[in-house]
Amino acid sequence: MDFLVRDITKHFEGKYDYLKTLEVIYNSGANTCSISFLYPESIKEFSDEEKKAIADYVRQKLSLNAQVVVKFKKSYLDDRLLLREIQNFFRESYASIFPYVKEDIISLDKSVGVGIKLRFAPTVVDMVDSKRLQGELEAYMSKHFCADFACEVVADESLNEDVDVVGERMKKFDFVQLKKVRRYTVKDVSLVVGKECYPEPEYIENIKGEKQAVILAGRIENYTRKTFIKKGKKEREKAYYTFVLNEGRKRINAIYFSSLANEAKMNKLADGDSVIVVGDVRNGYGGLTVHISSLGLCEIPEDIYEVKEEPSVVSEVKEGYFTVMPEEIVALSQATLFGEARPTSQHVLQNKFVVFDVETTGLDPESCEIIEIGACKIENGIIKEKFQTLIKPKQEISYLITDITGITNDMVEDAPSGEDVIRDFYNFTRGCIMVGHNVGFDIKFIKKAGEKVGLDFDNEIEDTMTLAREKIRVPNYKLKTIVKTLGLELVNAHRAFNDAYATAQVYLKLSELA
């Protein structure tokens, strides 16, 4: 909420220019909006008069049809807190190298601001755009602490011997791009655009329908640069690149929408180049097409089809799904959720559940729209399937909603429509009890979206907030509080799937309590 901090600074003539917005939380049930500001540990505590003056200004500025609660939190530059947030950053933004980010490779220097030095094996450094990573980490840490950050990524040859060991450990994590499908390894990856290219693509023949976060490789054919006019307040010409990715036995269409900064790099590519790409496979542009988020040059071994075949867990295109394909979930945390024992609740074992969460453009289902749905399916007491997608709304996403959810207008630019998504979500929920946290808010949006395309979400509904009130005593019944009380984890709150997955674990845990 940078605009709000800027306005506070201007209104109070620079007196509070050190403030930063930590988080904004809507509680639709209580009709409240809680805004938390950070201030440096070197600043003395705010007086009650100062807090009231800032809070009154914020309420006047936002003019929300909700109670606005303003909080102030001192930003402590404790090493433990800094290390935790660095690891959170990698978990959220660079999942494929998160397992490498151990405390012993991080050095902190707080002599002037906060310096962060990250040591990785050279092979790991080659997987990422170091300059971009450094900038993103600096911005992330600056948002969470009141300090200036400088990040440096260095290659350390002494860590090479650990790469294979860590790589094996990494494959045990449930990252989407590392699911256990038949793969091969490419060599000498050199990142061209994007964030990361893990060097283990799956075979194009695995791709039977739309699929998120795939890694593919092949040679470029029919490489073409095209342009279009992007509408908006100011029309501008944007470039995109299309080509066929030829793996040898199979081909797939590919498309990359380029920023102005990346056009020079993309213009250097040509037919015959061997590349590895990361992106989402969607229908369109003449068939299945991989929409590229990262691309790198690489060397593809000649014997890729001689790799020993392993059983593939990639599902065939499921009947009834056209836009969003459910994905299998294999999460280590489930193995320890109940120790060695399985859930004993007969209600849980005898029914199927879809635990869901939505992010929206506002609070009113009559005038606002869903911009993300995340859901988990529980069968036999196990979280088995994932349904997740962004949705392109007909209205623009406001700055306030972006601050709450992290979802921007650019992120949903190529997302499917709400009408298409809700049909697939309806199919996903058939025969299931639908579960949410403070579910009244979310189900109103789901039912309204269903009505628009003639679908009736007539499922039985359960609420983890109601269940928690019956089973445990906590200071408040926010999802984050309940998760912490039950010894669970909520990463990157206010993104639909993360909230849904945490709610699913809460539901299973609460169901076992007397």
Confidence bin at 283 (pLDDT 50/70/90): confident
Q: Which residue has the higher pLDDT, 90 or 30?
A: 90
Q: Residue 404 belongs to a domain with what CATH number?
A: 3.30.420.10
- Identify the weakest region by mean pLDDT among 183-192, 313-322, 499-508: 313-322
State pLDDT tens for residues 14-56.
888 888 887 787 776 667 888 888 888 777 777 888 888 998 9
Same domain, yes or no, for 213 and 155?
no
Side-chain half-sphere CA neighbours of 113 within 13 A: 10
Residue 243 lies in a domain: yes
Angle at 66 between CA 63 and CA 71, to 5 degrees: 85
Average pLDDT over residues 68-83: 81
Q: Is the pLDDT of residue 132 over 50?
A: yes
Task: Point out the domain boundary residue: 75, 95, 115.
Answer: 75
Average pLDDT over residues 340-358: 83
* Structure tokens given for 133: 């990573």
Residue 340 lies in a domain: yes
Query: What does the pLDDT read at residue 328?
Result: 81
The single-letter code of the amino acid at 497 is F
Q: Which residue has the higher pLDDT, 158 or 299?
A: 299
Residue 66 lies in a domain: yes
Answer for the pair 377, 385: CB distance below 8 angstroms, yes or no. Answer: yes
Query: What does the pLDDT read at residue 512?
Result: 87
Confidence bin at 303 (pLDDT 50/70/90): confident
> Shortest CA distance to 357 belongs to which of 209, 452, 207, 479?
479
Query: What does the pLDDT read at residue 228?
Result: 82
Same domain, yes or no, for 241 and 386?
no
Same domain, yes or no, for 160 and 243?
no
State pLDDT tens for residues 197-236.
778 888 998 888 887 778 899 999 999 999 888 776 677 7
Confidence bin at 107 (pLDDT 50/70/90): very high
Same domain, yes or no, for 263 and 340?
no
Residue 320 lies in a domain: no
CA dist 123 and 120 (Å) reads: 8
Residue 173 lies in a domain: no
CA dist 437 and 501 (Å) reads: 11
Confidence bin at 172 (pLDDT 50/70/90): very low
Q: Residue 54 belongs to a domain with what CATH number?
A: 3.30.300.20
- Identify the weakest region by mean pLDDT among 168-177, 417-426, 447-456: 168-177
Same domain, yes or no, for 393 and 504?
yes
* 3-state secondary structure (DSSP) of residue 58: helix
Q: Residue 261 belongs to a domain with what CATH number?
A: 2.40.50.140
* Structure tokens given for 406: 């992290």
Residue 218 lies in a domain: yes
Same domain, yes or no, for 437 and 481?
yes
Confidence bin at 176 (pLDDT 50/70/90): very low
Pairing of strands 251-257, 236-246: antiparallel
Residues 6+ apart with CB under 8 A from 149: 113, 114, 115, 116, 137, 138, 141, 142
Write down the catalytic residue from 144, 347, 437, 494: 494
Same domain, yes or no, for 490 and 400?
yes
Confidence bin at 74 (pLDDT 50/70/90): confident
Query: What does the pLDDT read at residue 157?
Result: 80
> Shortest CA distance to 277 belongs to which of 306, 299, 297?
297
Confidence bin at 337 (pLDDT 50/70/90): low
Query: What does the pLDDT read at residue 62?
Result: 82
Distances from the Cα of 467 to the Cα of 287, 458, 472, 507, angstroms: 46, 21, 9, 8
Task: Point out the domain boundary residue: 113, 133, 166.
Answer: 166
Average pLDDT over residues 70-83: 81
State pLDDT tens for residues 427-445.
999 999 999 999 999 999 9
Average pLDDT over residues 115-121: 91
Calculate the average pLDDT of the chain. 83
Query: What does the pLDDT read at residue 165?
Result: 43
> Shortest CA distance to 73 belongs to which of 42, 36, 47?
36
Answer for the pair 373, 389: CB distance below 8 angstroms, yes or no. Answer: yes
Q: Is the pLDDT of residue 166 over 70?
A: no
Query: What does the pLDDT read at residue 200?
Result: 84
Residue 439 lies in a domain: yes
Query: What does the pLDDT read at residue 376?
Result: 94
Same domain, yes or no, for 89 and 61?
no
Query: What does the pLDDT read at residue 41?
Result: 75
State pLDDT tens for residues 446-505.
999 999 988 999 999 999 999 999 999 998 999 989 999 998 876 655 678 888 999 999
According to DSSP H, which parts of 453-495 are helical?
464-471, 479-485
Backbone CA torsion sign across 190, 194, 196, 202:
negative
Same domain, yes or no, for 103 and 214?
no
DSSP calls for 408-430? -TTTTTTPPBHHHHHHHHHHHHT
Residue 313 lies in a domain: no
* Residue numbers of the domain that contains 277: 181-306
Q: Is the pLDDT of residue 316 over 80?
A: no
> What φ, ψ does residue 13 adopt, rounded to 5°?
55, 45
Active site residue 11: no
Q: Is the pLDDT of residue 335 over 50?
A: no
Same domain, yes or no, for 480 and 361?
yes
Same domain, yes or no, for 402 and 504?
yes
Which DSSP category does 474 fall into?
Answer: -
Angle at 285 between CA 413 and CA 282, to 5 degrees: 60
Same domain, yes or no, for 62 and 142?
no
Task: Point out the domain boundary residue: 75, 99, 121.
Answer: 75
Domain count, the chain: 4
Side-chain half-sphere CA neighbours of 367 within 13 A: 3
Which DSSP category does 296 fall into?
Answer: E
